């Protein structure tokens, strides 16, 4: 190699380096175009599938004639927060949908934008509430909470979600953008090629690991108001807490995902019958794992914990965890290290007037 460097004139060496750089840029541009084309193709296929389903269901009569049993007139929305084991949980819904006879639909927003335009909010609410052919339905996607009552809907969907320790979630997302995961290992990620560790990023004051990046779980639960996305807003935190208690059927935590699934199976068997066993034994239960992830040092964690943003996100996480553990404590009993769902603990008596 040294001999070659001596023999090749400096100008030719420079030209070779420039040519190599241009080739790399060209390849990256082509890869980006292929990814954009793949996204367009996926959306076109999805639209075609929707039209096929609607045509199949309307072939024998008008759509308004479709009547649903009360048990089937149900919609669940899982507005999944990124990097909270959402793919692992969603895979269970996909695996069970044929057996339990419900539909699963992915809400694919442009560039994963969690805030819908006002016109898209109207379209989405109309789709979810009136698309009888897709009921019972399980919708999932990276979308912030949307209040259906604001649009005059009487029967609102059932919201569920899972959240995670805020620093662990950010670390996972940081490495995911650089190295991807074992779900689609060949897919090029936005920050691919950046070898800087999370610790190094925090030490250098990088933007990808800044405390502002922790602000995600609060706005996802807060919703579509502008103040929800105002980083560090105390109003947003309180609104997120309010929605978690009043608008969500159940919110679990990543660290106790199996218990979350067990409670869902007990409370909503129409969708989740068989989910606990599938999670324990199925091949997809822990399918998506971020690669090359390195745990942050105590010093890095301590530095992030000095931020008011972390304190607020952690307050919300602790609030959700306490609520989940409260629900679980009143729904299960532990025996020999195993959790068991409680049988029905109420009954009716003193029923009047007496029947003859």
Give me the active site residues, please.
140, 142
First to last CA, the chain: 103
- Tokens 């895979």 appear where? 91
Residue 180 zone, left/alpha/beta (φ > 0; ψ -120 to 50; rest): left
**DSSP code of 288?**
-
Strands 332-335 and 338-341, bridge-based pairing? antiparallel
Residues ≥6 apart with Cβ < 8 Å to 299: 199
- Edge-first strand listing for the sheet containing 248-253: 103-106, 137-140, 75-78, 158-163, 248-253
Listed in order, strand segments (DSSP E) in 40-88 are 75-78
Task: Judge residue 150's burial from the number of C-beta atoms within 10 Å of its C-beta, 0-12 exposed, 13-18 middle, 19 or more buried.
Answer: exposed
- Tokens 């897919």 appear where? 187
Helix axes 166-179, 308-329, angle to 10 degrees: 110
CA distance 162 to 159: 11
| Rg, the chain, Cα only | 25
- Nearest Cα neighbor of 134 from 103, 94, 96 is 103
Residue 83 zone, left/alpha/beta (φ > 0; ψ -120 to 50; rest): left
């Amino acid at each position: 190699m040294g001999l070659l460097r001596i023999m090749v004139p400096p100008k030719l060496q420079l030209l070779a380096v420039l040519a190599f750089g241009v080739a790399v840029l060209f390849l990256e541009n082509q890869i980006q175009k292929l990814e954009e084309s793949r996204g367009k193709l996926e959306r076109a296929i999805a639209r075609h599938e929707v039209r096929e389903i609607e045509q199949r269901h309307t072939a024998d009569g008008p759509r308004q004639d479709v009547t649903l049993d009360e048990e089937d007139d149900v919609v669940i929305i899982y507005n999944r927060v990124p990097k909270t084991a959402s793919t692992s949980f969603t895979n269970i819904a996909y695996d069970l949908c044929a057996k339990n006879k419900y539909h699963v639909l992915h809400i694919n927003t442009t560039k994963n934008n969690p805030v819908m335009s006002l016109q898209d909010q109207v379209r989405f609410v109309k789709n979810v509430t009136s698309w009888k052919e897709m009921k019972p339905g399980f919708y999932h996607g990276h979308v912030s909470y949307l209040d259906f009552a604001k649009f005059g809907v009487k029967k609102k969907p059932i919201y569920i979600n899972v959240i995670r320790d805020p620093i662990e979630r950010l670390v996972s997302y940081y490495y995911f953008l650089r190295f991807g995961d074992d779900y689609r290992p060949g897919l090029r990620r936005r920050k691919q090629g950046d070898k800087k560790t999370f610790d190094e990023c925090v030490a250098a004051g990088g933007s990808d690991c800044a405390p502002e990046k922790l602000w995600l779980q609060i706005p996802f639960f807060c919703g579509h108001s502008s103040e929800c996305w105002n980083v560090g807003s105390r109003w947003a935190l309180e609104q997120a807490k309010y929605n978690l208690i009043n608008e969500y059927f159940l919110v679990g935590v990543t660290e106790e995902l199996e218990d979350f699934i067990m409670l869902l199976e007990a409370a909503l068997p129409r969708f989740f019958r068989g989910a606990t066993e599938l999670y324990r034994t199925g091949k997809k239960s822990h399918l998506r794992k971020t690669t090359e992830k390195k745990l942050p040092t105590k010093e890095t964690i301590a530095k992030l914990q000095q931020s008011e943003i972390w304190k607020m996100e952690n307050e919300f996480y602790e609030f959700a965890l306490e609520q989940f553990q409260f629900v679980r404590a009143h729904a299960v009993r532990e025996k020999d290290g195993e959790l068991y769902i409680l049988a029905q603990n109420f009954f009716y008596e003193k029923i009047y007037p007496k029947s003859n």
